Structure 1
């Protein structure tokens, strides 16, 4: 019988199987040396050691990568809810290499001066990883989409774009996003953007509109200049307000009969001062005190907040006759879109909306306009056809700083309207004014009349009897 020992020869003169080498074994205490002389144990110990070294090496390599990414790479994440996300997507559509195989389709629309809308198909980077070259730097673009997360504002799946590049400063991203912003704004230069309220968010309404010349809306003498001067003064006077502790906001009320150009002038004013318009519908479903405050505080910068026909959106009917009888008690109601708020007994009272999907109160509206939480830097325009229907509390100074009547056409407007359609016919314009100045005509009526005789000022003068029907 042959045995295996630590020394001596094995079977048939072969070298015996050994455990650990003596050079290592001598450092192991003698009581446990026999254990390490076992070849099976020593082989397992070796594998364990190799595995441990590999694991330590792998972890160290990962740590080096993490630290290297932290100190030698910069990155920025742009979520889809941010405005710059859409700027960046448009920028990537123009900068991305045409050989890229993985793209998404995005259809945009452009409106010509004639009103014709033309569609354009853009290819943008799809979900995944892409690389672009910008200002001598390679930028890694990672577009990700969460399958189970919904952006509650837009209703779309939550998306984000992460930009990463080698370096220690993030100013490269500031330049990139600024370039994308300028490119996007250049497409809208000279146009007026309209926003409408949707829940707690402002969304674009239609396409950017061609700027309407301020001279195309003819108001009575001096009115247009007064409003423009006042708004310009407000926009350039923020420090004056702050130094005196005055809330930096301005309110305007334009009142007068229908068709006198109130809304048209506001549109032209926005174009003249390069402002956008935010149409706020108080009678919309889901409008509440909370959403109203949110909308007013998040309106786009350099915009006009427009409350059209405020008398129809919010109506108050007050009865101040005291009575001990419940049937004769002071009763006030605020209606919104045909529904009513019941139980309003004064300006400071809270009225509960008795309808579905809304909890807007009159006191909530007043607080949103000039309360503690009211937003700063705001330009608010209200329009109404019936000034007498508005509660004086709503239009007091502080909420409405400038009230201007936009009445039916004055002799000045009659002449300017005639010359607008028939330039270089001053004598005919004077005769036209003499014939119709006794009539109460709105600019909308005059415009419709002149369009019937768009090429013949003589016929327009001779057929003024048609305007008598509107007397």
Structure 2
């Protein structure tokens, strides 16, 4: 028994001596690598296996702090700042770089693509390592010597976060997000949202719509973006809802792009059909950032949000038994689940957010979904007016006036045409601007629509006349 104790003490003393020697000889980053190797080896020894992990950690002089990309499915802004800070560090000494060229006119952008990065702050060496957690979210692990704990926790981490946010503000790019299908969320390589840089050129200046209506929307957006104190004063979540409705081609998507460019907000394009249930919807929406626009386009087509779901008998009869069961077992986002996030208790989970619904069929939507207070501003984007045409003529042909404008104005009073159709007729012909040719093309398009409308108007008038005659007949008898 005495011999076993001497052997254990001798082995442990030898390990401590070896560890002290390594710390004196090797630089910091090599010391960490050797430390991890030695601890892994020690843990495999039979006499050490009797000790808990807490005992093993007691012998290590290093402390680790983990930063996850999402915390309880809420986006961790500290993670984003750290990622920006580490990516901005000098690339001239980095061994692994990532090159990209988003626009042809711009040069290559080089960024670090290393899993481990060494940093120094006030004489303290720290090491960052990227990875993924057990759920599959990305993480950064910060490792440092325990004697530097106060410096790291009190000032270094705060310095990194503030520096990262400062770099983000200087180089901020709007992003267009779309949600990954919830069936892929368990994958270590798939996050809730994926994105690209948003570079749409739309602006309120080039938006083809009635100037008074445009000014009203513009003022409302500016008031919202400056309304932090006001919303706090009245006790409401700092969010606003906009319902964009009207026929196809009237500029609903362009309006959203103009809103984003005006406020410098990123866009989250939410695809409801890729979500299984209300719980997943909450996870997805709480993972959005502030200063953003959450968009559900063609909401009348996304899901049945009337509170009732009618099974389609013709489709079910064509499914096999297994497919029937799968179809019936599916769960869907409900109207109440969506409403709870728009203006329920979950609406306060983030600040400075705009929610936008678009639809071509306003009558199909449940009134509870679009009532005032949920969709605060209803914006009808209708057919092209003459005032909107003049904006398009300025955009496409650089024209303020033209002899053909009077004829176009007269035709627009008699027929309906979407701004997208007007823009298509005003586009360059054979790579050159031909004002006369473009305006004549538009006149022809308007005249064709007028000819189609006239028979329909005659039929409508005949129906009205028949109705009046029927009513008069009934009154006689």
Match of 2:179 in 1: 197
Match of 2:41 in 1: none
CA RMSD of aligned residues (A): 4.2
Change over 3 Å in CA distance of 1:429–1:223 after alignment to 2: farther
Partner Cα separation in structure 1 for residue 91 and residue 196 of structure 2: 31
* Residue 312 of structure 1, aligned match among 277, 301, 307: 301
Cα shift at 1:124: 3.4
Match of 2:417 in 1: 441
TM-score, length basis structure 1: 0.67
Match of 1:413 in 2: 388
SS in 1 for 2:279: helix
Structural mapping, 1:238-253, within 5 Å: 238-253=228-243
Cα shift at 1:145: 4.3
Cα shift at 1:279: 1.0
Match of 1:260 in 2: 250
SS in 2 for 1:188: coil
Match of 2:136 in 1: 152
Q: Verify: 1:269 aligned to 2:255, yes or no.
A: no
* Residue 427 of structure 1, aligned match among 359, 378, 402: 402
Match of 1:300 in 2: 289
Change over 3 Å in CA distance of 1:462–1:212 after alignment to 2: closer
Match of 2:336 in 1: 363
Counterpart contact for 1:419–1:429, Cα < 8 Å:
no
Greater RCO, CA 8 A, separation 6+: 2
Change over 3 Å in CA distance of 1:178–1:422 after alignment to 2: same
* Residue 119 of structure 2, aligned match among 105, 108, 132: 132
- Which runs of 5 or more residues in structure 1 are unaligned? 1-42, 319-331, 341-352
Cα shift at 1:448: 0.4
Cα shift at 1:214: 2.3
Partner Cα separation in structure 2 for residue 335 and residue 207 of structure 1: 40
Match of 1:459 in 2: 437
Match of 1:179 in 2: 163
SS in 2 for 1:374: helix
Change over 3 Å in CA distance of 1:415–1:67 after alignment to 2: same
Cα shift at 1:67: 11
Change over 3 Å in CA distance of 1:187–1:144 after alignment to 2: closer
- Which runs of 5 or more residues in structure 2 are unaligned? 24-54, 71-75, 186-190, 317-325, 451-477
Task: Tell me which protein shows more helix as a share of its residues.
Answer: 2
Structural mapping, 1:333-352, within 5 Å: 333=309
Number of aligned residues: 382
Cα shift at 1:390: 1.2
Change over 3 Å in CA distance of 1:436–1:105 after alignment to 2: same
SS in 1 for 2:144: strand
SS in 2 for 1:278: strand
Partner Cα separation in structure 1 for residue 123 and residue 447 of structure 2: 73
Change over 3 Å in CA distance of 1:150–1:48 after alignment to 2: closer
